Structure 1
Amino acid sequence: MSLLERLNNDMKQAMKNKEKDRLSVIRMIKASLQNEAIKLGKQELTADEELTILSREVKQRRDSLHEFENAGRQDLVEKIETELTYVNIYMPEQLSEEEIEEIVKETVSEVNATSKADMGKVMGTLMPKVKGKADGALVNKLVQKYLS
């Protein structure tokens, strides 16, 4: 079942169950997918493109969450946390820190990186391997740890 089909089914279910928050998030995700398809001039997006959009949605919400926490807006923090929960349902299972660390070690040795000057080379090879399965900030931190 494609992501769009799954979203449509979940949207129908959310309407039947009168889950306004869930319905709103599903509609936002669908709109993002449709906007990207229009932008790229395609009828359907590939799974990789869908994953990119979902990752973007998660990142936007995490950034908003951080900003609202700093501003002391607990009402908005709760709303964003709820949205994040619903978006994460459609994301692939996230890798643990240990799994990411193992992939970082393999990639560092694969590209023969020795210093922080090789950071771009490592990240360029590493990010496609963990796309959608790991937080970019955590990956960046682990790469810096192994290159220092």
Structure 2
Amino acid sequence: MIVATTYLRARKWPLIIVYVFIALPFVLVRLLSNADDSKNGFYAGFIIFSHALIFLLWLAFNNLEIRIYQNSIAYKTLLFTREINWNEIIDVDLHLGFTGQHPHPKWTFFAGKKSINIDPSYFSRTNNRFLAEAVMSKCINAKISDTVKKIADGKFPWYLI
């Protein structure tokens, strides 16, 4: 399979949900409250803070992408870019990792001392399936988990939305 350079970009719709539940209620309360309300300063401060937070989240999501090249794969975030050649990859896995008590899915591309960990929940099912198909075609000598093989066939695990 010949893969042209492809950029898989993160979904941004969760930011709308964050905005609706965090910033918008305070904007509405501020607009509907009396001008002499003693909490107006708090509302204005929280509105500015929440908009700044949502802007930073948008900036982070806007710079989050998986780059699939002919000879390598790269994961770009706001702060760094990691790249591994396809022929260096030894093991590819998609599994549930734990941060404290909270499980979260992650792709792991292991290449000796280098590795890339990607959270698949930032990307759509179409993008995750495309990534799995690229892994199946490019990582011929790598150990590929059964979960990745099933995703390439369109059968997603329950924890991947």
TM-score, scaled to structure 1: 0.24
Per residue, is there more helix in 1 or in 2? 1
Which structure is larger by alpha-carbon Rg, 1 or 2? Answer: 2
TM-score, scaled to structure 2: 0.23
